Amino acid sequence: MVTFSIKSYFFWTPFSVVETENNSFVCDKSDDWKIPALEYIEKRNQRRLNKLSRLVLYSAIKCTTPEKRNYVTVLSSRNGEINNALRILQDISNDELVSPQMFVNSVYNMPFAYYSIFFGNNLPSSAIASSESSLGYGFLEAVLNLKRFPGYDVLLTCADFPLENELGVLNDKSCLPYSFSVIISNDNYGDNRISFDYEMLKDGNRRNDVPDAVKFYYSFLKQDKEIFISETSDSRFTWKKQSL
């Protein structure tokens, strides 16, 4: 078990709290919503970004401040840039020219590469993808980075965009676009202190009525729930608020 403090967090999805908590969101809405405008990034730089990068950067910017953008960063995403990667492979198979910008944006950790470029962040960055366990393994990577790089806080962003076109049939019923950012620290912040535990399972209970990051935000951070457990087919992750 390890402990850490949460300094700030920010969550965004185009769906309402009621829609997400009751699993009544409709993925067919995907053409009807837009990611809010990005602050502090020049318009010419915003034109480089695809949808996942915009999702990641939007919550990351909202979670940080102009005075403090320098963090060790971790991206956790179940689907990552697979939509972009598929389009590139289709272009190659059809003997078509591949867009250089699309190729750049197919790199999984590109969203935080943009963050580093735009805000001059020269600290380490990593990316995690582990199917329905991506939230837990994202936190595991983040707390390990607190140990690897003592003295630095970690900005973890969990974000996903539903699979598109031919890949759309592989979406779980719980798929929805969202972005969740949290800054964790070794500093002691009293009520914001969290313990985190992880164990491997052979036959866990997969509960994916909505993405774990959505439930973590609404039921654990925003409500009085003291414990949050994410149990998937191979792992159990437990977060617990530490009382004074």
Q: What CATH number has the domain bearing residue 140?
A: 3.40.47.10
pTM metric for this prediction: 0.88
Give the pLDDT of residue 1.
Answer: 85
Domain that holds residue 128: 2-18+29-196
Structure confidence by residue, pLDDT tens digits, 128-146: 988 788 899 999 999 999 9
Say how many domains are in the chain: 1
218 within a domain of the structure (yes/no): no
Alpha-carbon Rg for the chain in angstroms: 18
Domain-located, residue 150: yes
Could you say which residues of the chain have pLDDT below 70?
Answer: 16-32, 84-86, 88, 90-91, 103, 163-175, 189-191, 204-209, 243-244
Write down the pLDDT at residue 20.
Answer: 62
**The pLDDT of residue 166:** 64
Give pLDDT, residue 211.
82
Question: Model confidence over 16-57: pLDDT tens digits?
Answer: 665 665 555 555 555 567 888 999 999 999 998 988 999 999
Q: What is the DSSP letter of 191?
A: G
Q: Which of 213, 207, 202 is nearest to 235 (CA)?
A: 202
Where b means 16+ CB within 10 Å and e means fewer, 106-121 reads: bebbbbbbbbbebbeb
Q: How far is CA 111 from CA 7, 49, 61, 105, 175, in A?
A: 22, 8, 12, 8, 20
